[in-house]
Amino acid sequence: MSRKERIYLFDTTLRDGQQTPGVDFSVEDKTAIAAMLDEFGMDYVEGGYPGANPTDTAFFERKRTRRAAFVAFGMTKRAGVSASNDPGIAALLQARADAICYVAKSSQYQVRVALGCTDEENVESISASVAAARAAGREAMVDCEHFFDGFKENPAYALSCAKAAYEAGARWVVLCDTNGGTQPSELREIVAAVIAAGIPGDHLGIHAHDDTGQAVANSLAAVEAGVRQVQGTLNGIGERCGNANLTTIIPTLMLKPAYAGRFATGITREALAGISRLSRAFDEMLNRAPEPQAPYVGASAFATKAGIHASALLKEPQTYEHVPPESVGNRRRVMVSDQGGKANFIAELKRRGIAVARSDPRLDSLISLVKEREAQGYAYEGADASFDLLARRMLGDVPEFFTVDSFRCMVERRFDANGQLKTVSEAIVKLTVDGEPRMSVAEGHGPVNALDIALRKDLGRYQGEIADMELADFKVRILNGGTAAVTRVLIESHDATGARWWTVGVSDNIIDASFQALMDSIVYKLLKNRGGVQVAAE
């Protein structure tokens, strides 16, 4: 076991992943994602580019990881100024990061065209920038941009850039396939040449892009050639065709004998069994549909249609499954009788502190209810609080704190006294608490906000209990096209204890879907206050 070589996992979801069209993380998003990655067991979590934009600067005001090294990204110093006079370097050194990852040119062509400095000045910038990070007590690493293309064009120059980083004390020299066009066979040869030139593999990293669909293959080829740090993103997000997908690479490294026999990562087997949840929770945060055919974690990754395969599968799962679905927290889906599902449910309930016997008929009812609701569009992977409530309700563990008798929402678009066009939303909620009817009216920014305010305005004796609860996020997804589309609403809530939970509602009416998710959120909070739930550390 101890003889295995260590592979270090470097996550750049929050930096390179942020380049994905349509992805724009807030500080809150980044904080939540960094915590997920840290908890999962990544060695490095790259947070962004402090000094480049207000979000990243604010994000680096505090260290956002507990176990993982928290990494700030930025450029090497400009030519012609010293590192101590470079404002970019100053911003990096100010960031509350454990490590600094510099991006540097390693292609002679790029130096000339993009930097407009001499070859020697670029090499000097690399050395001086690494030295500045080291002098400030930070771990330093250098992303050698366009390394493989640069090597093909001028191997001696590309190597001189990489060696400058290594000799100045960079912990990692990261070879980047920036435009994603390198093929595994070329990559293998070039990595071997770099090692032969004097940079040991345990100081080399790989950063691959997926432009020919081979970012995962290239990353693994680099590992085989000797590289010991692998960079990538959750679900392979990234600009153009994406970055190397860590959600695929990690199970491969840990479960495939070709790698698992030789290498160890910082991720435990238990954490690996949470990778499907991690992947789906991340998609929910991005408000995008998970890829059903994603390796290991996709909903279809272990799905087999009825027929000879299904019956053989039930008798001998290894026949059709290259790894056990439980090892990555996924489920076997067989359309005839889903025996694999039950064990998963029991495990999931146990994880939440809900004990139920395998023979309990309520368990079967719960499983069929979840399946029925998932078919309607509910997504419990991204709404653990709603799943928790559904399970506890089925098992009779949820008191009826209050009932909602009716609600009504109005949206009015009109001209105000000054002739300005305005849209006003108003909601009325009638509910019963302790047998006493109550009615609340509220205005809000949009109908859902009005409904939320009205619902939380007067909960009788529970009012004080929900005072510290806030909605952190609200996501809407249209599940099928056309005018009769079904809408799924996901709500993220948090309270003063720092706990966060997600609830879901589904309806052909967006207000109704939002209302379901709001109700679940409040009931979950009340249950949580009574110690009735085990809050996952998310």
Q: How far is CA 201 from the centre of its chain?
A: 28
Long-range contact set of residues 107-111: C-beta below 8 Å, sequence gap at least 24: 107/145, 107/146, 107/147, 107/149, 107/150, 107/153, 107/154, 107/157, 107/158, 108/150, 108/153, 108/154, 108/157, 108/158, 109/150, 109/153, 110/145, 110/146, 110/150
Least distance to Zn ion, CB of residue 110, Å: 14
Q: Are 531 and 515 in contact (CB under 8 A)?
A: no
Least distance to Zn ion, CB of residue 177, Å: 8
In the region spanning residues 322 to 351, those forming contacts with Zn ion, defined by CB under 5 A, are: none
Nearer residue to Zn ion within complex by CB, 71 or 518: 71
Least distance to Zn ion, CB of residue 252, Å: 20
What mask, x for binding Zn ion by CB under 5 A, covers residues 173 to 192? --------------------
The phi, psi pair for 322, rounded to 5°, reads: -75, -25
Size of the site for Zn ion (CB under 5 A): 1
Nearer residue to Zn ion within complex by CB, 19 or 94: 19
Q: Which residues pair with 413 in a beta bridge?
A: 423
Least distance to Zn ion, CB of residue 176, Å: 6
User: Roughly what angle, to the nearest 10 degrees, separates helices 361-376 and 384-394?
Assistant: 140
Stretch that binds Zn ion, among 11-19, 316-324, 414-422, 522-530 (CB under 5 A): 11-19
Least distance to Zn ion, CB of residue 142, Å: 14
Stretch that binds Zn ion, among 9-17, 58-66, 410-418, 444-452 (CB under 5 A): 9-17
Least distance to Zn ion, CB of residue 103, Å: 9
The number of beta carbons lying within 10 Å of the beta carbon of residue 272 is: 22
Stretch that binds Zn ion, among 8-16, 27-35, 118-126, 452-460 (CB under 5 A): 8-16
Least distance to Zn ion, CB of residue 114, Å: 15
Question: How many angstroms separate the CA atoms of 75 and 83, rounded?
Answer: 11
Nearer residue to Zn ion within complex by CB, 180 or 201: 180
Least distance to Zn ion, CB of residue 12, Å: 7
Residue 208 falls in which region: left (phi positive, over 0), alpha (psi -120 to 50) or beta: beta
What residue type is assigned to position 8 of the chain? Y
Max Cα–Cα distance, the chain, nearest Å: 82
Nearer residue to Zn ion within complex by CB, 238 or 329: 238
DSSP 245: B
Nearer residue to Zn ion within complex by CB, 16 or 139: 16
Least distance to Zn ion, CB of residue 226, Å: 21
**Encoded tokens for 507:** 């309806």
Helix (H/G/I), strand (E/B), else coil: 258 = helix
In the region spanning residues 464 to 523, those forming contacts with Zn ion, defined by CB under 5 A, are: none
Helix (H/G/I), strand (E/B), else coil: 388 = helix
Stretch that binds Zn ion, among 15-23, 58-66, 279-287, 316-324 (CB under 5 A): 15-23
Stretch that binds Zn ion, among 13-21, 38-46, 154-162, 164-172 (CB under 5 A): 13-21
Stretch that binds Zn ion, among 10-18, 419-427, 494-502, 505-513 (CB under 5 A): 10-18
Q: Determine, following the binding rule CB under 5 A, whether residue 210 of this chain makes contact with Zn ion.
A: no
The number of beta carbons lying within 10 Å of the beta carbon of residue 494 is: 18
Nearer residue to Zn ion within complex by CB, 16 or 381: 16
Nearer residue to Zn ion within complex by CB, 147 or 462: 147
Select the residue whose beta carbon is closest to Zn ion and give its number: 16
What residue type is assigned to position 272 of the chain? L
Least distance to Zn ion, CB of residue 231, Å: 8
Nearer residue to Zn ion within complex by CB, 46 or 495: 46
DSSP 77: P
Question: How many angstroms separate the CA atoms of 501 and 345, rounded?
Answer: 20
Q: Are 409 and 450 in contact (CB under 8 A)?
A: yes
Angle (nearest 5°) at CA 238 between 471 and 44: 80
Nearer residue to Zn ion within complex by CB, 16 or 520: 16
Helix ranges (H only) for 47-153 are: 54-59, 87-94, 108-110, 119-135, 147-153
Question: How many angstroms separate the CA atoms of 163 and 428, rounded?
Answer: 69
Nearer residue to Zn ion within complex by CB, 16 or 452: 16
The strand pair at 69-75 and 403-415 is best described as: unpaired
Nearer residue to Zn ion within complex by CB, 16 or 284: 16
Q: Are 490 and 504 in contact (CB under 8 A)?
A: yes
Least distance to Zn ion, CB of residue 508, Å: 41
Question: How many angstroms separate the CA atoms of 147 and 168, rounded?
Answer: 18
Question: How many angstroms separate the CA atoms of 240 and 242, rounded?
Answer: 6
Helix (H/G/I), strand (E/B), else coil: 45 = strand
Nearest residue to 262 (alpha-carbon basis) of 534, 3, 77, 538: 3
Nearer residue to Zn ion within complex by CB, 83 or 99: 99
Question: How many angstroms separate the CA atoms of 97 and 95, rounded?
Answer: 5
Least distance to Zn ion, CB of residue 246, Å: 13
Q: Determine, following the binding rule CB under 5 A, whether residue 16 of this chain makes contact with Zn ion.
A: yes
Nearer residue to Zn ion within complex by CB, 65 or 243: 243
Stretch that binds Zn ion, among 16-24, 186-194, 258-266, 390-398 (CB under 5 A): 16-24
**Encoded tokens for 260:** 């698992």
Stretch that binds Zn ion, among 12-20, 108-116, 320-328, 493-501 (CB under 5 A): 12-20
Nearer residue to Zn ion within complex by CB, 241 or 439: 241
Least distance to Zn ion, CB of residue 180, Å: 9
User: Roughly what angle, to the nearest 10 degrees, separates helices 384-394 and 510-529?
Assistant: 70
Least distance to Zn ion, CB of residue 49, Å: 12
The number of beta carbons lying within 10 Å of the beta carbon of residue 420 is: 8
Q: Determine, following the binding rule CB under 5 A, whether residue 86 of this chain makes contact with Zn ion.
A: no
In the region spanning residues 375 to 414, those forming contacts with Zn ion, defined by CB under 5 A, are: none
Residues binding Zn ion (CB under 5 A): 16
